Amino acid sequence: MEKKLTLICDKCKVNLTLANVHFSYLDHNFRHKVLRCPECGQVYLSEELVAKMKEVEATFEDK
Ligand SMILES: [Zn+2]
């Protein structure tokens, strides 16, 4: 099954665009490509990104 990469913003009805967004989470900084609405800036959190955040969380808890 191929994942559909194009998503549409519910609010603006425009295609989300891929953006390299800088995240700061639990004192960790990382960049991640996410789909973002060019109109309202709404970011779509992919499963991949959620997994990454959990990873960061786990690292944080280990210390
Ligand atoms: Zn939007």
Q: What is the 3-state secondary structure (H, E, C) of 12-55?
A: CCCECEEEEEEEEECCEEEEEEEEECCCCCCEECCHHHHHHHHH
What pLDDT, on a 0 to 100 scale, did the predictor assign at position 3?
59
Separation of CA 33 and ligand 1 centre (Å): 17
pLDDT band at 13 (very low <50, low <70, confident <90, very high): very high
32 token code pair: 């991640």
At residue 1, does pLDDT exceed 80?
no
SS3 4: coil
**pLDDT above 90 (res 34):** no
**Å from CA of 15 to ligand 1 middle:** 9
The domains of the chain are located at 17-62
| Residues lying with their CB under 5 A of ligand 1, a single-atom ion | 9, 11-12, 37, 39-40, 42
Q: How far apart are CA 11 and CA 37, in angstroms?
A: 9
| 35 alpha carbon – ligand 1 mean position (Å) | 11
State what percent of residues in the chain have pLDDT above 70.
89
| pLDDT score of 19 more than 80 | yes
Does the pLDDT of residue 2 top 90, yes or no?
A: no
